[in-house]
A and B are shown apart, each in its own frame.
Chain A
Amino acid sequence: MRSVKYFCWLFAAALCVAICAGSPAWSQSEVTLTDIAGRKVTVKLPVRHVVLGEGRQLTALALLHPDPVSLVAGWLGDLKRLDSKTYELFRSKNPAIDKIPLIGITNESTFSVERTLSIRPDVAIFSGGHGPSARSAEAVRQLEAAGIPVVFIDFHDKPLENSVASIAILGKLLGQEEKASAYIKFYQDRLDLIAKRIAEAKLKRPTVFMHMHARLWECCPSPGKGNLGEYIVFAGGSNIAADILPGATGQVNLEYVIQRNPDIYIATGGAHAINRGLAIGTYVTEDDARKALQTIAEEKGINTLSAVANGRVYGLWHHFYNSPLNIIAIEAFAKWFHPELFADVDPRKTLAEINARFLAVPFDGVYFVSLKPEKR
């Protein structure tokens, strides 16, 4: 008799556990991770609604989730403002993108904590470029006080160091660790290959001048030791602006550029430069990008560079400076700087593979271009 009663209790307890485990309210688990800013953050899973401190990180979500737009409960307006064509690309897959509430425009000072609180996201993902950053200590404190965990990722400040870790963090948050590891392997293999070959070959580094927002600003904004300048050095080039600029970016004298006469000239552009500067990026055709690049190469001063005479003139989508797809830019640089050493590397194929294997919304357009059509 007693053992029957004992058995009944046991059965009831087991039933309870089973019911609880099966019901959504009790299935929540937690993940504790260390973000890019070095903070330990605990986030309840699953994460279904995020706010993006920088709209362009939608690309990072698209690497891991089949419908990235559906994840975003609020964001800053930088994607639409700075890269309207890529915004259109995402809209073509999910028109609900137009309904995502804005929590700020395109910079940190317009970010509204109250608006974010009213959205009650599962997590706020900040990345520092155009949105709230590690400097926004008060906003972070307020969000956390309201129970909204804040996670920092980064493809902007130290892209070579932080891109992999950022993808891993997003993988954990979204419960897509396998997909994240697959992308990380894909990314790291390519990065390692370039680093290894450059270290072994002991090549002469060609001098490179990168002209940011070419023709949009007066000549010549250029990256120094940071920003896209890091890619140049990593890919085996020598950035002539890094020798003189005190900051991460700055204004270089055209005369200096002419005098240094770099081996390679790279202009950057994007949707913001269509009609005036280098049209390149989403929905831009190769012909249009090359035509725009040709016009830039004919600008006064630029047209005297031996890079132009030798046809070593290239164009790059500016947003690679803040994107998990930056491996494409790095591969393109490596190939441009050392065509023989990297004859087997093909950034086109890399993009095609990222499109096929990872991106929920495949990128469609030309993101890097050379003045001389490449043999394919």
Chain B
Amino acid sequence: MLLCLLAAAVAAVFCADLLTGPSALTFSQALKGLAAPSTLSRTEYVILWEVRLPAACMAVAVGVALSLAGAEMQTILDNPLASPFTLGISHAAAFGAGMGIVLGYSLPGIPANWLISGNAFVFAFASTVLLQFMAQRFGASAQTLVLFGIAMFFAFEALVKLLQFIASEQTLQQLVFWTMGNLARADWTKIAYLSAAIALVAPFSMAASWKMTALRMGDERARSFGVRVERLRLFSLFRIAVLTSFAVAFVGTIGFIGLVGPHIARMLVGEDHRLLLPGSALCGALLMSAASIASKTILPGVIIPIGIVTALIGVPFFLWLVMQRRYRA
């Protein structure tokens, strides 16, 4: 029931996202244009279908991917502070992007217009594979994962800073912009890739949901239910890698969603992962769509990178939720 309400809220905010922008395209025009594109002038068509719609869809997809990944991450690490950022995946992606932006370095076989996204994806994914390999080698406990992840986090952070240090002012600006996240990077191909990744991974997440619920009670309890905990962690990590790498590669690093989406979902639907995982995905989508609206409307005509908005708008909202819960409890 709550999930249905959440889904309805996502749909509503998504529509609001589609209907906001700096141009004079009116509410009714846009609605009509969605149903019958032929009623729009060429300009209005492009605004609605080629500027707003890709960004709005990307917002939803990225929200789903990051928040779902965050929910899994918090469970397998048994850590409420975990998010796709904790293990350095985002920094690895930023480093890959930076190699392209600052050094013009491209991995072989990646076409020029995919230079930045391609690099970002490869580095994000490779860092998680490396993490998995190390974890497997030294026992995939939550603690080992976190420690290796923290090492990765700082290593890639330092590498990104090294790139920033040697960058020219112009490439530095571009790299810094990249790390702030921006939905203007969206296009249909990228949305298709990210949606495919979600469609591919989500069923496996759902299939693992009862094991994840068991894991929330601790490694020992989960084992007593017959859950192969290490295996569960590694597969989950793989899913997280796919979701995060695609999302981050396409829009840049966007913090907060992967951390807070799952928490909001947990407040709403509780710990049962059959509800928590879809709930997190929906909360993530909701937050991203709301942030997308804000990034366009705070300074009309100017795009404020969405990574900034998610934190600035999201944090007070999150704090308010936490306090509400405290009072009710």
**Chain A residues packing against B (C-beta within 8 Å):** 78, 81-82, 105-107, 109-110, 129-130, 213, 216-219, 243-246, 250-256, 258-259, 261, 272, 275-276, 300-301, 303-304
Contact = CB atoms under 8 A, between A and B. Distances in A.
A93 to B, nearest CB: 24
A256 B300 contact: yes
* Best-surrounded residue of A218, A250, A259, A303 (most CB of chain B within 10 A): A218
A250 B302 contact: yes
A159 to B, nearest CB: 16
Contacts of B169: 106-107, 129-130
Contacts of A106: 166-169
A255 B23 contact: yes
Contacts of B23: 255-256, 258-259
Chain B: interface size category:
20 to 34
Task: Identify which of B21, B51, B296 gathers the most chain A CB atoms within 10 Å of its CB.
Answer: B51
A255 B51 contact: yes
Nearest to B23: A259
Interface in B155-183: 165-170, 172, 174, 177, 182
B170, B172, B300 pick with most chain A CB within 10 angstroms:
B170
Contacts of B31: none
B22 A251 contact: no
Contacts of A82: 168, 170
Contact of A246 (B21, B51, B52, B299): B299
B220 interface: no
Q: Tell me if B's interface is mostly helix, strand, loop or mixed.
A: helix
Contacts of B115: 276
A110 B303 CA distance: 31
A66 to B, nearest CB: 29
Interface stretch (B6-14, B41-49, B265-273, B318-326): B41-49
B43 A258 contact: yes
B228 interface: no
Contact of B301 (A130, A252, A272): A252
B231 interface: no
B170 A254 contact: no
B280 to A, nearest CB: 28
Interface of B: 21-24, 42-43, 46-47, 50-52, 112-113, 115, 165-170, 172, 174, 177, 182, 184-185, 187, 296, 299-303, 305
Q: Which of B42, B52, B168, B187 has the most CB of A within 10 A?
A: B168
A276 B113 contact: yes
Nearest to A106: B168
B182 A255 contact: no
Contacts of A245: 302
Contacts, number: 96
A259 B165 contact: no
A170 B175 CA distance: 35
Question: Which has the most chain B C-beta neighbours within 10 Å: A82, A130, A259?
Answer: A259
A110 B166 CA distance: 7
Contacts of B177: 217, 251
B254 to A, nearest CB: 14
A78 B302 contact: no
Contact of A304 (B46, B166, B296, B302): B46
16 contacts: A107-B169, A130-B168, A130-B169, A216-B174, A218-B184, A251-B305, A252-B301, A252-B303, A253-B184, A254-B51, A255-B22, A256-B22, A256-B301, A276-B115, A301-B46, A304-B46
A300 B42 CA distance: 12
Nearest to A245: B302
B184 A304 contact: no
Given A107-B168, A107-B169, 16 more contacts: A82-B170, A106-B166, A106-B167, A107-B167, A107-B172, A110-B165, A217-B177, A244-B302, A246-B299, A246-B302, A252-B302, A253-B184, A256-B23, A258-B46, A259-B23, A301-B51
A300 B46 contact: yes
| Residue among A244, A245, A246, A253 facing the most chain B CB atoms (10 A cut-off) | A253
A293 to B, nearest CB: 17
Contacts of A243: 301
A254 B168 contact: no
Given A107-B168, A109-B165, A217-B177, A254 B301 contact: no
Given A219-B184, A250-B302, A300 B50 contact: yes
Q: Which of B42, B43, B174 has the most CB of A within 10 A?
A: B43
Given A218-B184, A253-B22, A105 B303 contact: no
- Specify which of B52, B112, B174 lies most central, judged by the most chain A CB atoms within 10 Å of its CB: B174
B302 A258 contact: no
A68 B47 CA distance: 50
B32 to A, nearest CB: 18
Nearest to B21: A255
Contacts of A213: 170, 174
By Cβ-Cβ distance, the 4 closest A-B pairs, closest first, are A259-B23, A106-B168, A256-B301, A244-B301
Contacts of A301: 46, 50-51
Contacts of B21: 253, 255
